[in-house]
C-alpha cells in the first residue's frame, strides 16, 4: 500500500466512526494520482458542513477530492 492510499484510509477510518452517528458513511471509490474519488451515503451526501473535505485538507492537503 502506498503512502497516499494509507493516508486516505486513515482519514476515512477516522471519519466513518463519526459519520455513523448521522447514519452516514464515506467510502473510497478510486485513487488516480492525487485525485481521490469518494462516495458519500446517508445524510452526509447532502450536508453543507463539508466535514469530509475539512478532514482531508487537515491530513492530506495536496489531494483533490471528487465526490460521486
The CA distances from residue 58 to 23, 42, 43, in Å, are 23, 23, 22
CATH number of 3-67: 3.30.300.130
> Does residue 25 have a pLDDT over 80?
yes
* Mean local confidence (pLDDT), 29-50: 92
The domains of the chain are located at: 3-67
* DSSP assignment letter at 23: T
Give the model's pLDDT for residue 27: 96
Give the model's pLDDT for residue 45: 84
Give the model's pLDDT for residue 37: 98
Amino acid at each position: 500500500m502506498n503512502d497516499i492510499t494509507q493516508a486516505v484510509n486513515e482519514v476515512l477510518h477516522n471519519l466513518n466512526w463519526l459519520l455513523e452517528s448521522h447514519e452516514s458513511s464515506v467510502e473510497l471509490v478510486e485513487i488516480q494520482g492525487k485525485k481521490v474519488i469518494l462516495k458519500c451515503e446517508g445524510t452526509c451526501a447532502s450536508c453543507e458542513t463539508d466535514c469530509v473535505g475539512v478532514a482531508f485538507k487537515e491530513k492530506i492537503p495536496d489531494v483533490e477530492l471528487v465526490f460521486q
